[in-house]
Structure 1
Amino acid sequence: MKTEARDLQLCENLGQQRTEWAVTRVLWPLLYALLIAIAFGLLGQGPLARAKVEGENGALILEYKRFATAKSSTSLVVKIQGAAGQGRVLLSREYLSKVEIQKVSPEPDKMVADAEGLVYVFNTASAAPVEVRFSVEPRTVGQLKGWLALNGGEKRHFSQFIYP
């Protein structure tokens, strides 16, 4: 026995079907955009996730993650080169007010409060560059801006986006 299409009893709701199609047309591009963002590092590891700021003639180099998560640890790596005697790294009060510094490695010789922030003093007597790692935990969500300077020199600005 042959069944024809007009004999089938289908329960159709064309309004609901159109709504589902419209939602699908919006969600698929959003899904692709999310996958592309993940691939490029906007949500973790990838080529856009890491940033680098250089200072006066390469004497100061800051490497950091552009994107981090609140209440999880991230690092600021500061490389000091060619500073005779002492390297004085000034980290802005604006940045310090929104993060908790968990560890500084190697330990600074001393820390001095300044009107603009906190100065970390490191022994740089050897010819080898000194690499300092600040382990920080962001306390806020959103755009986090700061700057640092070496030996009272020019301020080098950086920015991170903190996810919840």
Structure 2
Amino acid sequence: MTDASPDARKPRTPADAAQRDDFAPRSQPIADRIAYQRKTWRFERIGFGVLLVLVLLALTGLFSDGPLSRHSSSGPGQRLSVEYERFLRNGASSRIVLTARTRPSALATLRIDRALLRTHTIESLQPQPLFARSHEGGLELVGQADERGRLTLYLTIRPESPGLVTNSAWFEGERVIFSQFIYP
């Protein structure tokens, strides 16, 4: 008498191998729905891929600070440049750097439009301008350029309303338009 079962003594055929396939539908011990399971696995892989893409976009700055968000715009004469973040979060602080190029030690007048003042709160302004005044609903800032003819103002802002905002800054007739998207 041998210990082997009768099935173990038979040579395996391709049909037997197909029956033992893990991915083949079977009814014992429970009924499997392999086609449905494969759809579920495909959906999981697609979801994992989408999640991975979102994490990579977040790391590169699509939702806040990062290389995709940081941007610099200049006017046609390169006398005014604005460094800013394109993507902001509502209520989170950010920075805008305005740089004007003029004659050494000259007085320079920078203007910021009303759209920026309506949608953002200016938390700080460094260095303090010699004087500031309202101009057509916006803000006019006057400062003195350094010995290289450069005036740089650092604004710390906090967005107050979500959505797409288009802002403008002027210096000596040169206008720079920059857009920011504020996430809720």
TM range, smaller chain:
0.7 to 0.9
1:132 alignment counterpart: 153
Gaps of 5+ in 1: none
2:165 paired with 1:148: no
1:163 alignment counterpart: 183
Identity of aligned residues (%): 25
1:47 alignment counterpart: 67
Q: How many residue pairs end up in the alignment?
A: 163
Q: Which has the larger radius of gyration?
A: 2
Q: Distance in 2 between matches of 1:24 and 1:127?
A: 59
Over the aligned positions, Cα root-mean-square deviation in angstroms equals 2.8
Q: Which amino acid aligns with 1:158?
A: F
Q: Report if the CA contact (8 A) 1:86-1:125 is conserved.
A: no
2:102 alignment counterpart: 82
2:123 paired with 1:102: yes
Change (3 A) 1:75 1:7: closer
- The Cα of 1:137 is off from its aligned counterpart by 0.1
Q: Distance in 2 between matches of 1:7 and 1:138?
A: 61
- The Cα of 1:68 is off from its aligned counterpart by 1.5
- The Cα of 1:89 is off from its aligned counterpart by 1.0
Q: Which amino acid aligns with 1:79?
A: T
Segments of 4+ moved more than 4 angstroms:
1-8, 13-16
Q: Distance in 2 between matches of 1:71 and 1:35?
A: 22
Q: Could you tell which deviates more after superposition, 39-48 or 86-95?
A: 39-48
- The Cα of 1:61 is off from its aligned counterpart by 1.2
1:115 alignment counterpart: 136
- Tell me the TM-score normalized by structure 1: 0.82
Q: Which amino acid aligns with 2:180?
A: Q
Q: Distance in 2 between matches of 1:7 and 1:121?
A: 83
The SS at the match of 2:91 is coil
Gaps of 5+ in 2: 8-18, 21-25
